[in-house]
Every structure is written in C-alpha cells, then in structure tokens.
Structure 1
Amino acid sequence: MFRTLRSIPLLGCLLSSIGCHAQPPAAPPIPKGDYGAIIRYLQNRIPLEMARYNVPGLSIALVNGQELIWARGFGYADKARGVPVSPNTAFRAGAISKLITASAALQLVEQNRLALDTPIQDTLKEFYVRSRFHADQSAADRDVTLRRLLSHQSGLPSEHLRDLRSGFAMSQMPMRVSGVWLSTPPGTQVAYSNLGYSLVGAAIERSAGQDFEVQLQRSLLKPLEMNQSSFVGSNTEVGNRSQGYQDGTASADAQIRDLAASGLWASPKDLSHYVQMLFAQGNYKGKRVLDDASINEMFTQQNVGNVLDFDCKIGLGWFLAPCGDEPVAPGVRTYQHSGAGDDFAAQLTMLPDQQLAVIIMANDSNAEDMVASLATHALRMMLQAQTGEVACADNCQNPAGGKDHRRIPAAIDRKRLAGFYATSWGVLRIKDEDGQLHGELSDTRFELLRDDHDWLRAQKKFLGFWLKDLGELGRVQLDVVTVQGRQVLIAKSHGQRVPVGERIEPTPLTGAWANTVGTYQVLNTHEPDAPLSGISVRLEEGFLVIRGQLHDEPLTDYILLPVDNAHAVLAGNGYGLGDTVSRQVNGLSASGYRFKRTDSPHINLSF
C-alpha cells in the first residue's frame, strides 16, 4: 500500500530500460560430476557481475544433498573499513526469514501447542478482524488460520505501515492491529502479507511461552548450527555482519518491526544447514529437527483451486513454482524464496528431486536481479554436473521482442481492452487512440500489439523508427481474461501465467467521497523513518485516485472504490490492494495512520 514505484521488485524489472536477468556470458561445458568447473566459472563471473551492478559484497553456498560443495565470499562486507566478505559473514535475509518462521511454527504444531486449521484467535485472543466479505464477523475471525497465514491466504493486508520501523515488541502486534479490515476473502487467493507473518511470530511467542529469538535459537538455529544467524541486533551491535548499501553508498541499518517476516540475519553457509535438514526429511547430523509430516506439509501446494492464482503455487512459506521468474529447467520442480529490501538481496532456490540448492546473499539494493540470475544459472550448471545433460536451452527463454509478426488489435478488441486496471505497481491505463492501443504505467507509455500467438506485446519506438528495449515488459505476453466475473490482466512469462492486474469500472460517487478530493498529512507520528508523510486524492475520468507522498517524493497511484459512506478500498487484488481507507472527521485513515486534510474541500456533488 502506498509504495514507491521502484520499491516493488517486479516493477523495477518491467520498467527497466536494460531488462532484468540479462543473459550472462555462456558457461563452459560441465562434465558429469565436475563441480570444480562450476566453481571456477563462478569465481570468474561473480566479480564481473558485482562490478556491473556496483555491488560491494556477496556470499554464495552450493549444496548437493548432505554436502556443502562450496561456500565463498566476494568483495566487502564494509568498504570503508576494508572488511572482506567471508563464508561466515551474515547478511539481512529479508523475506527468506519466513521460511525459518514457518518451520518454527510447524515445530509447535508437532507439539500440539499450535494447530494449522484452528483460528489464530485461539492463540492471540485479543486479535480480531473486520470483514466486508462476511455477514457474521465471528466467521471472519474463524477463517484466519495459521495455515492461511503461512501460505499468504489469510486475507490480511500486505502491510501495516504505521510504526513499520519501530522497535515495538512482537507481542504487542496483535493488539495494535486488532480490528484490521480484511483485504481479500480468506482462502481464495494468495495475497502476500508481511503483516500475517508478524502475527505468526506473536503466536510462536505466545504458544512457546518465551521470546521469539530465544525460541528460534533453542528450537532451530542452534540445532542446525546456524551460528551466525539471529533475528535481533544490527550490524553495529553484533560482529561479523555486513554493512548494507544503496547504489554503492553505505546506509543506516534499518529498524525491523516485523522480525518474523523479514528480520533474520544469516549467511548462505548457515542457510545451507537448513536446506540439508530439509533434504534429510527433518534430520541434521543425526538430530531430529522437524518431523516428516511437517516437511511434507510445508511442500504441499496450499492454494489448489484458487483460480485467481493461475500458475503460481505456494506451500507453507515456500513458493513451489517460479511464478513467472526464469525457470531452472523444463519439468524440474523448483522451490524458492527471495528476500529484497533494506539494502540487501538474497535468493534461496532448491531442486527437491535432485537435492540441489543455491543460496546467494548480497549487500546492495542493486543486487536483486543479479542474485536471481546467478542462482538460476548456478543451478543449471549443477544440474548438468549431476545428469551430464544441458539443463536448459532456448525453451527456458522468454520470446525475444521484435522477431515475430505484430499487428494492431482489431477495433472490437481495442474497445474491449481499453480501460483502467488496478495493479500492485499502480494504475495501468489502456487507451484506444487513433486506431491504436496504448498502455501507460507510471511515466512509461507504450503501444500494445498482438503477436503470432495472439497475445498482447508491449513495444515502443524511439523517434518513431527504432524499437526501444522495454526490458521484461517488452518480452512478457499479456492479455485480459474473465475469471469469476472479473476481467483480469495476466502476463505469460517463461510459459507461466501470473495475474498482473484487474480492470476496474467506475462506481457512482456520493458527495461524501467526492468531497475527499484534496491533500492530507499524517497525524501524530514520530517515526524517524516513516514510510508515508501524506496522501492526496483526485478525480480522474470518474475514478477517485489516491496517491501516497513521502516528503517530496510522490508514490504510487491507486484507484479508490467507495464501499459505503464511511469506507473505500484500494481497487484490485494483489500486494497492497484491497486495503480499506476510512473517512474520519476532517480526514482519512488507512494502514494504522490518520491523515488530516491540509486544504479545503472543493468538490460538492449532491446525490
């Protein structure tokens, strides 16, 4: 909700002028069993990639079954002090933290202290939700279960922005967010939620009867000999931790409130122990850490039947498919999770059937694309070393732009597609103009054409003649399909269909909501690094459009759809969408914030 455009990873990829996951130098032939050839290649390639992306430091671990094939650090953990990255340097793991949190929750399920399919309210008794999807509000509470929290199907908002950078105790979160409005009906689709995992952390504390960090150290981190791993402290308070960088410049270590969602410090070497435990069905060096049943549940698809998720599969914590990312190889099961933000990037990808895994962590905000690409290509080489066959040829690549026949959509097609679409990256406007179909997203305008397979493709010409590289936006295939009465914009990337947005029709505005047009500032916040300083609301072609503001930086546009005189929602489905905005006396409230109007109402409509 109210995110900066570039803070959402896929948007940075879609709007990049150079494209994401640019193809690296060709790897040498890898003889069967020759993992040394992979190591030699990566030792040469990684410094080149780090220089290209201006990444100060990186660490990598390669795993084959119960063997750690290689762990190595590159570059600097702290450039100013000349501290090199070692295999034991800890990085912020970001969202990879959720894998450890999910595992800790499953341990408590094994002990009958938590239950997957009972309401989380049974453990967090002060927590309740409000719902526009339920006639009976108590039924809404019953629908928010541990299983749905772990698989991002709880219906909770993606974030609770108020005090996001605070040091509030995890145990306070259930009370602080109690009464939150659901953004989607529970159990119907995957809507990624850091807030949901923050509540899982509180439930772990409550059921274990001790602090989250103490419980995690006792139950998981110490048994797995993850000696550099912890959910507390900063890079200044604890040694052997990397400095974070933003575009090559050192940044302050951010305060993390939602520790269970993104607060883990770890090294790839430490995380390799966790992967080895999973490959051994819960055992690590002869010690039972998780039961077979827990691991099987973790890797069982939880969103079967959710048609709005298309080809994205999720387990408990883990994504069980690339979800539009570049696959390792056709027909090869791939489980993964990435972590980005707070000036670090990480990727953990494993092939469960082959028992191969790659973990890469880096210490710069520029590193996300590089880390993902390195992980994919390292796994392809490992797969070739295991099987003796090339893992992925041309059938793993997205179709290149400009090589097929493109045609302007027919008039009836243009009319069908034209409209406003709510996406996690803002409002996408598709317009039928002068006999052509155009798209506008942020400040990028492009033409939409049909390709040989009848999918929509985006292209843009420089000076009207030469094709401009739109990155992944120019390579993915797009179309609008009707699902459960909704017109959903989908992208086909690397053969996988993922939802991108939803077409929204304007609704009649009451005078109450029409009069919200104006500007607002955040009230009563003393957060030093608040993610939001204000909002504005404007009227555009019959829609209320709301935009966040962070000091002088405008954030993303969203469509605001009134539900009743007191409540409206951010239109659409997906990250940050479906969240509720409420009218207050002389202002609005959303995501824990209250906003006071800074101008006078200047629209009056009578209904």
Structure 2
Amino acid sequence: MKKICVTGFIILLVFAQLQAQNIDKLKEKYRESIVKAMKKYNVAGASLVLVHGDQTIWTEGFGFANKANQTKATADTKFMLASVSKVFTATALMKLHEQGKLDIEKPLKKYLPQFNMPSRFKAKGPITPKQVLTHHAGLPSDILRGMLCDSPEDFTQVVHYLNNTQAASAPNLIHSYSNPGYSLLGHTIQQVSGQPYAKALQQTIFKPLKMKNSGIYNGGTYPSNFTQFYNHKGVLGQELPIRDIPAGAIYSTANDLGRFIKVMFNNRLLQQHTRQQIFSYQNKDIALDLGNKQGLCWFLKEDAQLGQIFSHNGGTQHVRTQIAVIPELALGGAILTNSSNGGKVRKVLKRLLKEYAQIKKLNTSKKIKPFGRDFRKYQIVKKDAQDLEKYAGFYANPSIGIFEIKLVNDTLQAQLGNVFGQFIPTQQSDFLVKVPGPGIIPSVRMSFQNVQGHLVFIQTQATGSKELLGNKVSLAPLDQSWKNKAGHYKVINKLPGETLILSNFQIINKGNHLLLQFKENVTGSSQSAALQPTNNREGYTLGLGRQAGTYFKFTKNAQGKQIFHIYGYQMVKQ
C-alpha cells in the first residue's frame, strides 16, 4: 500500500512538473506573439494578467509606458480602462442591490428623482437600473457635448442633458449601448450611498481588494507611474479627460485587475447569488438582439470548451483594453494598451485563456450547442420576382443613413456605403452575397426577418454571430420647410477647453429624407444619419440600435437663424 501511495505521488509530481513546463511554453509563445503584434501595429506599451482561481498565473508588461525616456511598461503601470470602467460601476451598483439599498428591477427614478427624460414610449413602462446595466433602457447612445474637455463638467450634469432630449427607443426593445446610461448609474450610486462616486468605489472595491494603484483620472497631472499615450503611428498623443467618469474614466494596473478578477470567483466582495445574477444571460427574450447575449454589464459569448465567457472591451482616443472572466472555470484575465492600434493586441487574451484551459484540462459542464451550418456548402435556388419584391425598398442604418435594396432583373441588390452587392437566394431561405471582383462570398449570409413589427436585414457570419444591418422604413417627400434646413452647420455651444468629437456637420436634402453627415474627429472617418421629422421642428434619427432614435430639434435665435440641436450640441446654419 505504501509503495502504491509513493508511486501515485511521484506520478502526480511528474504531471505537475509537465504542466508547469507547458505553462512556461505558453507564456513564451504569447510573449513573442504580443511583442510581434505591438511592433507590427505601432503599439507602444501593454500589460497583461492571467488568473486561475485565487492564483495569479502570469502578469507582465510589454514595451514602453514612456517611449521618450524609455520607461518600460510593467504589471504596475497605470492605464486608463476606458469602457472597462463600466464593470466597476456595475459592481458597485450590484453591491448596493445586494445590501437591499436599491432594487435594480424598480424604476430608476425612485433612486434618481432628478431623472425626467421625456419619452414617446411611456406606455412601455419606466426605465429600471437593470435595463441601464444591460443597455436596454432606450437611452441615447451618447451626449457628446462636453464629453472630452480639459476641465469637464461633473458627470452628474448628464441627467440634465437627458432631461432636455428624449428617449431613443422603448425599454427592452433592442440592445443600444449607452455611455450616459452609466453616468446615470454612477449618479445613482452617489444618491443611494450618500457619498461621492469616487469615494463609493474606493470604499466598496478598491480598498477591500487592496487595489492601491486604481482610481479616477479626470484631468490635471497624471498620477505617478502612469503611461503616456500614442496614436496609430506610434506618435505621442494627448488623452483628454472624460466627463462620463462612471462610463470610462477609471485607471488601473494589470496587478490590480488580477485582484478584482479573483473576487469574481468567491464571496469576498459579492455573494454567490449576486455574482450568478451578474453572470447570467439577461436578454434572451429580446428578439431584436438576434441571439447576441448580454449579462449585467458584461458581454457574453459561448464556447464549446470554455462555456460562458463574460468580457468587456474599452477604447478611447489612444486606449484599447479588455477584461474577460469564465466564472465556471474560475479563469480570467485582462490586457491593457496605451495605443490607438491596441485592439490588434488585445485580441490575444481570449486565445490565451483557451490554451491555458487546454493545458489544465478545464472544460465546461454546460452543453454549448455549436452553430450547425457549414457555410461552405450551399445550393443556389431561383426565386420569382413576386417572392423577392416584398424585400425591396428603403432601409435605415444608424451609421450610414438610408440604403435602398432594389429588385433588378429578378435579383436583389444594394449599395451599402462603398460596397455593392447582389443577393443570391439559397435553399436555406437566406442569401449569398456576390460582389464585383471576388464574386460570391461564402463566409456570410444575408436574410430578411420580421421581428417585433420590423422587417430587418440581417448579416450572419460563419460562426453564427448576427448583425442587424438595417430595418425597412417608409419615406415620404419632404415639405419645403424641411428642405430649407439643408446646409452646413457649426457648433456654437462648445465648452471652454472642449475637443469636439464630431465636426463638419452638413444636412443634405435627399428628396424623401434629410441626411446628416459629419466627421468623427477621433478616427477621422465620416458618418451619416437619416433624420425623420415628427412635426414641423422635431424628429429623430432612423434605424435600430446604437445611435438610432436620437432626438433632434430646430429652433431660431434672436437673429432668426436656424439652430440645430442634436447630441447635446447646438449648431447654427452657415
């Protein structure tokens, strides 16, 4: 018996040594991969942490926090988290929910009585904190006026901006990512806890977890050991303070994020029932989400080996970040970068988690049904023009405005932005895409579905992920008063020290709708939105999802000039 025990112990020891060697090889593989990607894409610095249970498996910095003086990035270098900040706002709010100080299912107005945003969807019920947490409250996607500023307004001013606009959609209609929503949640944390948001985070999360290198940056001198920031060419850039602190202005380090990730797997910060609520599929009944899954704040993807992966990305002018946890396997990690192209580097995180799980033989107990179709196999069918005619018409997309799907020679076709495509019917009742040059693209399918009263145009990837490209809309000729609103507009309510996120506004008369075009100053790209009048001076942007349903109005100043109000901006016609 003693010999058997000794033999068993030796086998276990050898197995543990082999695993350790494999993990060392894994680190070296990803160290090389990260450094190679950083060099290729001009990413100056990055920092990473990998956590399993209560153990930090790997934490390391790469490249430089400051290229000029050759200060290396380490696991204790402070990076802006950008929208990963929302995870901390959600955690603090859920702590209050756990303590019985608020109920995320109750109306938000109960805890934030200042919130009085008008809505044309009042019959759909009041907005709740839970809907805000999951981006299903129907709030505007952004209040852009004052978002980036040398000395930003207090984020609690967001509620007043919202009270002067309108709801973008009905609650629980569709996922529509909202930054001002998380400012409302931060404001709610202040109201309910009776202390400033920053102090509430310090008392609830940072201090108990010994996250000594985490906090809020809202302008002024950077804290010690803070990274510099770099653009896509690797040139030093300026990261401006963000007004919406609870949505994007927290900073942290890889080591501190490792401490935070660990408590997602135990009761030290939140009780099990609270964590189960956070890490659960919240939007399964929202048909227009097309099966894209959401937890409370965290985005949910499923993997046959790993099970449910909850993650959140972040991005500002020069920051790209990601945090991911797999609660069932007690596995998680984070990656922080200080460069505009950091998104090319952060992609390694989920691959790292998967390979680590394979080495440790970690597998989900859940039965994850893989996407069942092989897009490489298809059969083209002929459809009568009568069957296709119902799909022809105008469709709204929040980023490009209006596109038209036409029926030409018994074939549906459309120009989406700069891409022209024909849609070829298949036996599976969807459509292949045929483009000039490459021809048929087998990796995607297009389809039309009636969902909650909307005829929607959907793109499905070979992985099964779906994206709503547009919803069919009815357009009528504009009357002369609306045609007269066409022209160039200039922002006139810019705050001192503000950097405008959007500029070069132009309203174009398209005959049956007005098209708002503008430049997105952070990326330099051009975007468009279709304006739908509801009366002689108000309306909203067409489409479904993020940036859709944005309220706008026209007024006149003392000189009789047209003033255009949208995104918090006031603009005068030139």
1:524 is aligned to: 493
Structure 1 length normalisation: TM-score? Answer: 0.82
The alpha-carbon distance between structure 1 residues 507 and 85, as it changes in their structure 2 partners (threshold 3 A), is same
Structure 2 length normalisation: TM-score? Answer: 0.86
CA contact (8 A) 1:421 1:502 kept: yes
Equivalent-residue separation in structure 1 for 2:42 and 2:435 (angstroms): 28
2:139 is aligned to: 156
5 Å matches for 1:324-335?
328-329=303-304, 332-335=307-310
1:117 maps to 2:85: no
5 Å matches for 1:11-90?
34-90=22-78
The alpha-carbon distance between structure 1 residues 81 and 128, as it changes in their structure 2 partners (threshold 3 A), is same
CA contact (8 A) 1:330 1:396 kept: no
The SS at the match of 1:350 is strand
For residue 309 of structure 1, report the CA deviation from its aligned partner: 1.1
**Paired residue type of 2:184:** L
5 Å matches for 1:244-283?
244-247=229-232, 248-280=234-266, 282-283=267-268
1:201 is aligned to: 186
CA root-mean-square deviation: 3.0
1:292 maps to 2:267: no
Equivalent-residue separation in structure 1 for 2:499 and 2:447 (angstroms): 39
5 Å matches for 1:337-486?
337-372=312-347, 374-387=348-361, 411-412=385-386, 415-427=389-401, 428-433=403-408, 436-450=411-425, 453-462=428-437, 466=438, 475-486=443-454
CA contact (8 A) 2:34 2:345 kept: no
CA contact (8 A) 2:77 2:227 kept: yes
Equivalent-residue separation in structure 2 for 1:397 and 1:390 (angstroms): 19
**Paired residue type of 2:229:** G
The alpha-carbon distance between structure 1 residues 414 and 76, as it changes in their structure 2 partners (threshold 3 A), is farther
The alpha-carbon distance between structure 1 residues 460 and 190, as it changes in their structure 2 partners (threshold 3 A), is same
Match of 2:296 among 312, 316, 320: 316
For residue 92 of structure 1, report the CA deviation from its aligned partner: 1.6
CA contact (8 A) 1:568 1:581 kept: yes
CA contact (8 A) 1:548 1:556 kept: yes
1:576 maps to 2:564: no
| CA offset digits 1:119-165 (Å, max 9, x no partner) | 22223222201111126xxx86xx12211111112111010111111
1:12 is aligned to: none
Name structure 2 gaps, 5 residues minimum: 1-16, 557-561
CA contact (8 A) 1:522 1:534 kept: no
Match of 1:559 among 513, 524, 530: 530
Name structure 1 gaps, 5 residues minimum: 1-29, 284-288, 322-326, 599-607
CA contact (8 A) 1:408 1:448 kept: no
The alpha-carbon distance between structure 1 residues 597 and 370, as it changes in their structure 2 partners (threshold 3 A), is same
CA contact (8 A) 1:165 1:255 kept: yes
Aligned residues: 541
The alpha-carbon distance between structure 1 residues 55 and 476, as it changes in their structure 2 partners (threshold 3 A), is farther
For residue 433 of structure 1, report the CA deviation from its aligned partner: 4.2
| CA offset digits 1:451-475 (Å, max 9, x no partner) | 675533434344xxx569x9xxx73
CA contact (8 A) 1:124 1:174 kept: no
For residue 69 of structure 1, report the CA deviation from its aligned partner: 0.3
Greater RCO, CA 8 A, separation 6+: 1
5 Å matches for 1:219-230?
219-230=204-215
1:21 is aligned to: none
For residue 196 of structure 1, report the CA deviation from its aligned partner: 0.3
5 Å matches for 1:464-543?
466=438, 475-493=443-461, 494-526=463-495, 527-540=497-510, 542-543=512-513
2:86 is aligned to: 98
Larger Rg belongs to: 2
For residue 546 of structure 1, report the CA deviation from its aligned partner: 1.7
1:595 is aligned to: 571
The alpha-carbon distance between structure 1 residues 84 and 447, as it changes in their structure 2 partners (threshold 3 A), is farther
CA contact (8 A) 1:519 1:597 kept: yes
